Amino acid sequence: MVSPAASARLPDALLDEFEDLRARGAPAFLLESARPDPEHGRETLFGARPALFLYAKGADVRLWEAGRWQRLGGDPFEGLRALLRRGAERA
């Protein structure tokens, strides 16, 4: 579900496209800036089918990559640090 604030700012065509992605079950995300000020914010990003997806809720920390989930457990920030180190090693 898209927040009422986001739906008020997104053009209908983009909002429809995002909702269509979600309805088809594609992993999708929407990042909406919190500031309506046109000089400091007002960016909207959405996408689908990310290469990586880090999920964290409490101690349930999982990584989705290459079409499968891997349980990481523990601190989600440790999982994120590991991903960042891995990316730095590849660069």
Buried b (16+ CB within 10 A) or exposed e, 10-49: beeeebeebeebbeeeeebebebeeeeeeeeeeeeebeee
Q: What is the pTM of this model?
A: 0.54
Q: What is the pLDDT of residue 3?
A: 53
**Which whole number is the average pLDDT over 50-73?**
86
Q: Which residue has the higher pLDDT, 33 or 54?
A: 54
* pLDDT at site 24: 81
**Residue-wise pLDDT tens digits, 2-47:** 555 555 556 777 788 888 888 887 778 888 776 666 676 667 788 8
- What does the alpha-carbon distance between residue 73 and residue 57 come to, in Å, rounded to a whole number? 10
